[in-house]
């Protein structure tokens, strides 16, 4: 998404979501704390290794006991959006996803996530050390505050945290060259890397493609277990594709679309679409070129664009509702028309618009092919 990023998360990055997970080397700022000395660049390898070990211990501290200290610094450096509606929405998402993750990974309850919304308008999010997550306010506006789509971005970031991508990526960056470059930066009096240094560098680029793929793949299970539409992740990436190159999009997706660290946007959409089909027990599919939805390998409908959603974005969302039904039931209830809303049992499949096939006709088609 993620999900933005991504050590951040990757919103929808939407990787968002979407998601930076390693320390950078060129963003260090002076502080008022005591300076770290390596004895010059001519110091011994042994002294450099000792300093490297100190930095690693500092990272372990901010990953665990010092994570709330880092969280406070992240909010201070990034800024915080206090909008009550947006924060309530993010709170719901985190509650649902945490409960879903805990079913297979109860360790999340031992280190619950800290989270906040920051004022950046780009489509991005990140997961930093210590299970500290931030979502750009731009993610909310990009998806018109749609909870399911925002959840897809956040889920991507939570995979980064659960799989240890931030701390592992940070430590991999701590080469001898890195240590030498921070020789002029600051340490606390106890020889610990200062919290503002960590907060600044924990969001720099450095995510790997394997990290991103893992975050996408596992995020799908988080989303479906939490009860969100299984078509939402593919719809998220379809919206990114639809908005690339449009006026006002310059800089909106820069982190997400970095080809050296992130998979391609169409690859990510198609990966999620494949998972949608598998989730439906191979009953539901979407043609990525035309948007045609098939059920049991027979044509169902080709949605029209509606409001600010493209036809393809709607296709993945409608297919997701169908996939959820076919995933959970061997024998399906009859489709019905509920005032323009096509339902299978109590599940709303699609609310038709004027440019769609008539709801009665869609009901007839579904009942014939399901």
**Do 71 and 134 share a domain, yes or no?**
yes
Chosen domain end from 177, 209, 228: 228
**Do 131 and 215 share a domain, yes or no?**
yes
**Do 178 and 63 share a domain, yes or no?**
yes
**Do 212 and 242 share a domain, yes or no?**
no
Q: Which domain holds residue 180?
A: 1-228
**Do 215 and 67 share a domain, yes or no?**
yes
**Do 204 and 243 share a domain, yes or no?**
no
Taking only the tens place, the pLDDT of each residue in 106-147 is: 999 999 999 999 999 999 999 999 999 999 999 999 999 999
Taking only the tens place, the pLDDT of each residue in 294-303 is: 999 999 999 9
**Do 105 and 141 share a domain, yes or no?**
yes
**Do 304 and 160 share a domain, yes or no?**
no
**Do 188 and 309 share a domain, yes or no?**
no
Taking only the tens place, the pLDDT of each residue in 179-214 is: 556 555 555 555 677 788 788 776 654 578 899 999
**Do 211 and 238 share a domain, yes or no?**
no
Strand partners, 341: 338, 351
**Do 184 and 298 share a domain, yes or no?**
no
Chosen domain end from 170, 193, 228: 228
Chosen domain end from 209, 228, 247: 228
Specify the number of domains making up the chain. 2
Sequential pLDDT tens for the chain (370 residues):
443 333 333 333 333 333 333 333 333 333 333 334 444 444 455 666 777 788 888 899 999 999 999 999 999 999 999 999 999 999 999 999 999 999 999 999 999 999 999 999 999 999 999 999 999 999 999 999 999 999 999 999 999 999 999 998 888 875 545 655 655 555 555 567 778 878 877 665 457 889 999 999 999 999 999 999 999 999 999 999 999 877 544 455 555 555 556 788 999 999 999 999 999 999 999 999 999 999 999 999 999 999 999 999 999 999 999 999 999 876 788 999 999 999 999 999 999 999 999 999 999 999 999 8
**Do 233 and 343 share a domain, yes or no?**
yes
């Amino acid at each position: 998404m993620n999900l933005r990023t991504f050590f951040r998360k990757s919103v929808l990055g939407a990787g968002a979501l979407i998601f930076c997970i390693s320390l950078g080397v060129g963003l260090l700022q002076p502080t008022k704390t005591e300076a770290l000395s390596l004895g010059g660049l001519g110091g011994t390898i042994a002294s450099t290794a000792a300093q490297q070990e100190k930095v690693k211990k500092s990272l372990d501290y901010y990953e665990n006991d010092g994570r709330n200290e880092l969280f406070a610094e992240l909010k201070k450096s990034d800024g915080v959006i206090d909008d009550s509606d947006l924060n309530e929405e993010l709170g719901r998402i985190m509650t649902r996803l945490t409960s879903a993750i805990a079913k297979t990974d109860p360790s999340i309850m031992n280190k619950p996530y800290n989270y906040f919304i920051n004022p950046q308008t780009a489509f991005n999010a990140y997961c930093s050390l210590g299970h500290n997550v931030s979502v750009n306010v731009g993610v909310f506006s990009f998806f018109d505050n749609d909870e399911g789509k925002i959840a897809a971005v956040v889920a991507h970031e939570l995979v980064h945290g659960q799989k240890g991508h931030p701390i592992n990526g940070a430590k991999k960056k701590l080469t001898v060259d890195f240590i030498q470059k921070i020789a002029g930066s600051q340490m606390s009096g106890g020889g610990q890397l200062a919290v503002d240094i960590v907060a600044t560098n924990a969001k720099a680029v450095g995510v790997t493609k394997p990290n991103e793929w893992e975050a996408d793949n596992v995020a799908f299970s988080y989303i479906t277990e939490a009860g969100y539409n299984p078509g939402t992740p593919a719809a998220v990436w379809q919206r990114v594709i639809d908005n690339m190159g449009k006026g006002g999009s310059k800089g909106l997706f820069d982190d997400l679309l970095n080809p050296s660290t992130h998979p391609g946007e169409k690859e990510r959409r198609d990966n999620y679409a494949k998972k949608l089909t598998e989730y439906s027990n191979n009953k539901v599919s979407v043609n990525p070129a035309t948007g045609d939805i098939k059920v049991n390998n027979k044509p169902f409908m080709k949605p029209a664009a509606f409001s600010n959603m493209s036809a393809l974005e709607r296709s993945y969302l409608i297919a997701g509702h169908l996939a959820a039904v076919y995933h959970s039931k061997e024998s399906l209830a009859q489709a019905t028309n509920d005032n323009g809303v096509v339902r299978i049992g109590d599940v709303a499949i699609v609310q038709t618009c004027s440019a769609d096939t008539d709801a009665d006709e869609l009901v007839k088609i579904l009942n014939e092919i399901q």
